Structure 1
Amino acid sequence: MKALIIGGGVAGPVAAMALARVGVDAEVFERDEQGAEQRGSWVTFQANGMDALRSIDADGPLHDIGYPVDDIGFVNGKGRPLGTIPLAARRADGLTSRMMPRAALYTAMAEEARRRGVDVRFGSRLIAATVDGAGVTAEFEDGTTARGDILIGADGIHSTVRRLIDPYARAPRYVPVLNVGGYIPDFHVDVPEREFRMQFGIRCFFAWMPTPDGGTVWFANPPAPVEPEQGVLSSMTDAEWRARLHELMDGDAGPAPKIIEAAQGPLIGWATYDLPVVDHWHDGTGRMVVIGDAAHATSPAAGQGASMALEDAVILAQCVRDRATTTEAFAAFEGLRRARTERIVAEGRRASNSKAAGPVGRMVRDLMLPLMFRRAAKDGGRSLMWLQGHHIDFATPV
């Protein structure tokens, strides 16, 4: 069997490696050219994502990338502490969450896939796919085609494969906060080691974390109740972004003004979207299926986008191995994954909305969050075990 995998971000190469372990050849097709800039800057890579990689012995390349994170400390706009909670459940196997550059994560997975013999073709934009009784033919913008038994869409929230499966698929839903952030070398912030400090400011959510090499990772979520028109954000200059962030953080306690000034430019902001429900994950013929953000994109506030995609990649391979037909495999995969991923998308939506609260919402939030955080801290992260404690034993039949 041969799989054509559309998307070379994180899910695509890992799906190829997982499928290879069950005897399926795979080729990965990435729309962008090799080395293209990865928007998003840094990601929180959760322990359940590392668990998925470990299940196929692919976690090694990530152990030296990024920095471990233990806790999240929350403050309000006046700098008053709201509470500190574990970022992740305390797993018996010791796996923890890590902050890492998105580009480093993607590069590491692509290089590991190539090391294992997976062919990753860059500059290949899918435009169509034709299914017949013997397989599926993918057509690319450059005029080339590829033939396989199955086609897997790991091509993100604006997935072409999802639209091929269902031309009437629901559009991604706008999340009412923007994103901007980065990394500042040789910049000190007074925060305990391995803690991410997050501030529910008067007008904007802002976060910062010291890194072991003496730098600082930071991000901001400017509120934007109305979806920006196409081209508005990309046309904003570095000076305009800095002025906007200074305006939003004016009056809030903390290091935000110094971080904004020291941040390496040019600052670039982007809008985010989620996918609360994708009605059709596969085409019913056993030829096409979507995974990762193509099936269930979540707001960055959940911190689970990459990890959910990796869980998908590994579990899909298990289903292909353990079901008699790919039609049965894709149905089993959806059955195993839909409830969990939709719950995580909902959690991310709630977290994003809390960042854009109005005056009354801020007052209620500042009263309720300390109670919630105390409960979360008291249970040592056990309430998060359903999220980051997810474990995959690749050898166990699904």
Structure 2
Amino acid sequence: MSQVQKVNTPQYTLPGGIYLIQSIIQVVIIGAGPAGILAALRLQRFNHISPIIYEVRSEPTTLGGAVGIPSNGLRLLFRLGLWDALRERGAETSTLSVHAIKGQVIGNMDMTSWSREKTGFGYLRIRRVDLMEVLYEEARKAGIPIHFSKHLTGIEEDNKGVTVTFSDGSSDKADLLLGCDGIHSMVRKLYVDPNTEPQYSGISNIYSLVPTSELPSAAASIDGLNVMLTTDGLLAISPCRASRDMVYWFFSRELAIPPGGDTRDGWEERGKQQVETIKSIVLDLIKDSEGEWGLTIKESIRQTNTLRFYPVYRLPTGGQWSKGRCLIIGDAAHAMQPHASQGVSMALEDIFMLSNLLDSNLGSLNEAFRVYEQKRRHRVDEMHQLAERNGGIRKRTPPWQLWFKEIATSGVLGIYNLFGLGKLGLGQKPLAYDVEEDTH
């Protein structure tokens, strides 16, 4: 029945189901996304715990656009030895340029000037497929087994460990179970917190990746994140590869839940309708945009052959994160809107906090989980709120209000740069947070 052969090891259990940290030799990880593979790498290298990963998909996914990883996450990737490989693929996009609806730049800022001084890292935009290729290669070199087509159907615990079962009849047993299986986590649904359900944020995204070879020559020189507020959402474009041979553009807007309720079929139908009309909608919104920026963004949209649509969901704060020998981390525990670019970074912070606590003198896994939640809750809630605030600028606005926002944005960024407010760390202090300092 077991997927792998286990070595019989002594179990250390105190009365009342209190598990000693010294008994943790093997970990089962559900989910082979960034959180799962990064957790496996860290626990194997730092804690000498043997990981095995199970993934519901039949093969490594190639879906997804580009993800942003700010200073706090990049520093942890460096400590895992992954920074050089990721830097070779992703694009440094620490600068922000805000454009008016007519195309002209109304303000610039370096989003990581202060946090870069504190951490040594800025902001990386990288295609999800490139990120995953680096992580899968690292797992391969580390000899970490990843099994695909594994649909989790059951979780059971006893004094000797935690057992997971899958729809194909196979099972596995370990000393620790980590749920790294995203916002729709089966580990959360089946075992840790069945009553917590994802909530729709009210915001949906359309995105695409376009080779710069198909665009005006100016596209290859796009630097940093370029954004434009419209009356119907936020439009943005940035490079996503170190070679600058590809741009990532997205349009983020307010959108109601489809008629008939929050069902997969409803969203798929709405998505199909949105994709069919989105290019003309966006082009109409920015029809007055002129100059190099206007030409580049319009051509990026016109040359787009494949669009991806997805509604942005989040988990409510305050959910349960652990039960017995099981802990859910990353989006499985606290998925937030992507508008603070903290998805990968929050998972990394979870992983390092857990890893360091398992190496501490706390003694029991129960106590480690208690301290883990005590230290992580405030930080996660803080970033959750930031992401929600940032999502607010995606909402519809009348033309007069858009004009006012452009003037206000120009003034604020002008003052920010004139007086060097970036040197004070305004808006950047969360990016310099070091989870390892918080562990001790």
Matched, 1:294 2:336: no
Matched, 1:145 2:171: yes
Distance 2:34 2:128 in 1: 9
Distance 1:199 1:234 in 2: 23
* Displacement after TM superposition at 1:268 (Å): 2.1
Distance 1:351 1:281 in 2: 25
Distance 1:104 1:320 in 2: 31
- Greater shift, 10-19 or 350-359, is seen at 350-359
- Find the partner of 1:379 among 389, 412, 421: 421
Partner SS for 1:235: helix
Matches of residues 323-342 of structure 1 in structure 2 within 5 Å? 323-342=362-381
The 1:105–1:278 alpha-carbon spacing in structure 2 relative to 1, beyond 3 Å, is: farther
Query: In the alignment, what sits opposite 1:189?
Result: 218
Q: TM-score normalised to the size of structure 2?
A: 0.82
- Greater shift, 51-60 or 67-76, is seen at 51-60
Identity of aligned residues (%): 23
Partner SS for 2:272: coil
CA contact (8 A) 2:204 2:253 kept: yes
- Find the partner of 1:232 among 246, 262, 269: 269
Partner SS for 1:152: strand
CA contact (8 A) 2:352 2:436 kept: no
Query: In the alignment, what sits opposite 1:366?
Result: 406
Matched, 1:9 2:33: yes
CA contact (8 A) 1:34 1:123 kept: yes
* Displacement after TM superposition at 1:193 (Å): 5.5
The 1:237–1:143 alpha-carbon spacing in structure 2 relative to 1, beyond 3 Å, is: farther
- Greater shift, 76-85 or 108-117, is seen at 76-85
- Find the partner of 2:48 among 8, 19, 23: 23
Partner SS for 1:380: helix
* Displacement after TM superposition at 1:199 (Å): 0.6
- Greater shift, 16-25 or 218-227, is seen at 218-227
Deviation digits for residues 84-118 of structure 1, max 9, x if unmatched? 12122223453121111111112211221221121
The 1:191–1:352 alpha-carbon spacing in structure 2 relative to 1, beyond 3 Å, is: farther
Matched, 1:272 2:312: yes
CA contact (8 A) 2:233 2:393 kept: no
Matches of residues 113-192 of structure 1 in structure 2 within 5 Å? 113-163=139-189, 164-186=191-213, 187=215, 188-189=217-218
Distance 1:238 1:201 in 2: 18
Distance 1:193 1:259 in 2: 12
Q: Which ranges of structure 2 fall in alignment gaps of 5 or more residues?
A: 1-24, 259-265
Distance 1:246 1:325 in 2: 58
CA contact (8 A) 2:206 2:307 kept: no
Query: In the alignment, what sits opposite 2:232?
Result: 203
Partner SS for 1:205: strand
Distance 2:102 2:203 in 1: 23
CA contact (8 A) 1:191 1:197 kept: no
Matches of residues 8-87 of structure 1 in structure 2 within 5 Å? 8-20=32-44, 21-39=46-64, 41-87=65-111
Distance 1:148 1:72 in 2: 46
CA contact (8 A) 1:196 1:209 kept: yes
Amino acid at match of 2:72: N
CA contact (8 A) 1:157 1:172 kept: no
Matched, 1:223 2:253: yes
CA contact (8 A) 1:276 1:346 kept: no
Q: TM-score normalised to the size of structure 1?
A: 0.90
The 1:274–1:85 alpha-carbon spacing in structure 2 relative to 1, beyond 3 Å, is: farther
- Greater shift, 201-210 or 212-221, is seen at 212-221
* Displacement after TM superposition at 1:320 (Å): 1.7
Partner SS for 2:81: coil
CA contact (8 A) 1:158 1:172 kept: no
Distance 1:59 1:117 in 2: 20
The 1:129–1:35 alpha-carbon spacing in structure 2 relative to 1, beyond 3 Å, is: same
The 1:230–1:180 alpha-carbon spacing in structure 2 relative to 1, beyond 3 Å, is: same
Query: In the alignment, what sits opposite 1:245?
Result: 282
Partner SS for 2:107: strand
* Displacement after TM superposition at 1:372 (Å): 3.6
Q: Which ranges of structure 1 fall in alignment gaps of 5 or more residues?
A: none
CA contact (8 A) 2:233 2:251 kept: yes
Root-mean-square deviation (Å)? 2.5
Deviation digits for residues 103-144 of structure 1, max 9, x if unmatched? 111221122122112111122122221122222111112221
Partner SS for 1:91: helix
Amino acid at match of 1:22: N
Partner SS for 1:269: strand
The 1:251–1:329 alpha-carbon spacing in structure 2 relative to 1, beyond 3 Å, is: same
Distance 1:11 1:214 in 2: 27
Distance 1:17 1:271 in 2: 31
* Displacement after TM superposition at 1:153 (Å): 0.9
Bigger Rg, which one: 2
Distance 2:177 2:397 in 1: 45
